[in-house]
Amino acid sequence: MNYLFSSESVTKGHPDKVADRISDSILDSALAQDKNSRVACETAVKNNLVLVFGEITTNANLDYEAIVRETIKEIGYNSDELGFNASNVSVQVELSKQSSEIAMGVDKEDLDQGAGDQGIMFGYASNETDSLMPLAIDLAHKLSLRLTEVREKNIISGLRPDGKTQVTIEYDSNNNPVRIDTIVISTQHDPSHTQETLREALTKHVINEVIKNGLLDKNTKILINPTGSFILGGPAADSGLTGRKIIVDSYGGYARHGGGAFSGKDASKVDRSAAYMLRYLAKHIVAANLANKVELQIAYAIGKAEPVSLFIETFYTEKVDKELIYKVIKDNFDLRPKAIIKKLELQKPVFKNTSSYGHFGVNALDQKWEKLDDLEVFKELVK
């Protein structure tokens, strides 16, 4: 029996992504000056108000208001007409230092630095796409990236920063994608556009430029701004909050999620660093042809360096005994937080550009956790 599965993506102008991008811009600014910065920065946006709050311990000298305004301007909110304007937003900052009780467990220079919190994290990879991501989220992100590109390059005039995409894939009974059932694109625009003009422009310049895998057919449904118009958007229409798009950030719902958000957190927070490491390992397992798809789970206790558990699920697609996969990870990869930070180079200011369009896959291919630089270690199992 065939079945349908959908995933969504959003542009960097979506209110929640405005918040994520501000938080990660502050993180990057702190790391650029002090690589040992401890950052847990949240952002809320609504109308012309930005509230930055949380805990930051750093030797960096940061102008938070300037960072906020520059980030909003870069996103594209630079006009009063949009109801949210980088030049005159009200910026409120409520930041304190990290709790001393948490700091006791994580402020160590050696590899015994403890996890910044307890929790569970997941990593996933699949051979459905070249990026080793599930197909629906891979295409949804590509559509969102292209939607932003045609706005910023004025390929389609009159578009505004807020936008969403969604892709529904039809799978056969063997879990193989066979066609695209539905594409949804909602984009903010100025009053010059009608639903019909947008449909024509987005089909030509976005959908046809992205979807070239032969999975579109005469029965594929294309829905453009289904409510008819989308003039008021961004924080003027909806509030935004850091960490409210965790499924968009990861695997589009195709794999499980531990619940912890990524943006605004330095890598001592295993919500971020361990999830990145598990993606790195999962990608290697699939790329080495040890399994067609794999999901890994890890768990940590606050202040403790060694993980509490590691679980590997290959959904009956493994090509070697799973015990061998466990062994190659155990023998070759240190999963203590400090070791992950060192291996994936997570004390560098590399996070802002991951805050939209996914932390994994096409948007992050130049990041260390997406590199396949340990492939030979895994290929040894199939020689």
Encode pLDDT of 66-113 as tens digits: 999 999 999 999 999 999 999 999 999 999 986 555 555 555 566 678
- pLDDT at residue 143, as a whole number: 98
Tokens (6 digits) for 73: 């301007």
Tokens (6 digits) for 14: 């979506």
pLDDT confidence bin for 350, thresholds 50/70/90: very high
Name 267's Cβ contacts closer than 8 Å, sequence gap at least 6.
Answer: 273, 276, 337, 340, 341, 344, 346, 347
Over residues 13-57, the pLDDT tens digits come to: 999 999 999 999 999 999 999 999 999 999 999 999 999 999 999
Over residues 211-258, the pLDDT tens digits come to: 987 899 999 999 999 988 898 999 999 999 999 999 999 999 999 999
pLDDT confidence bin for 154, thresholds 50/70/90: very high
Is the pLDDT reported for residue 313 higher than 70?
yes
Cβ neighbour number for residue 48 with a 10 Å cutoff: 17
Compute the Cα dihedral for 79, 81, 83, 89 and give only its sign: positive
Is the pLDDT reported for residue 338 higher than 60?
yes
Tokens (6 digits) for 185: 């694109």
**β-strand partners of 298:** 121, 310
- CA–CA distances in Å: residue 172 to residues 4, 115, 179, 252, 260: 9, 42, 9, 19, 32
Rounded CA Rg of the chain: 21
Q: pTM to 2 decimals?
A: 0.95
Residue 344 belongs to what H/E stretch? helix 337-344
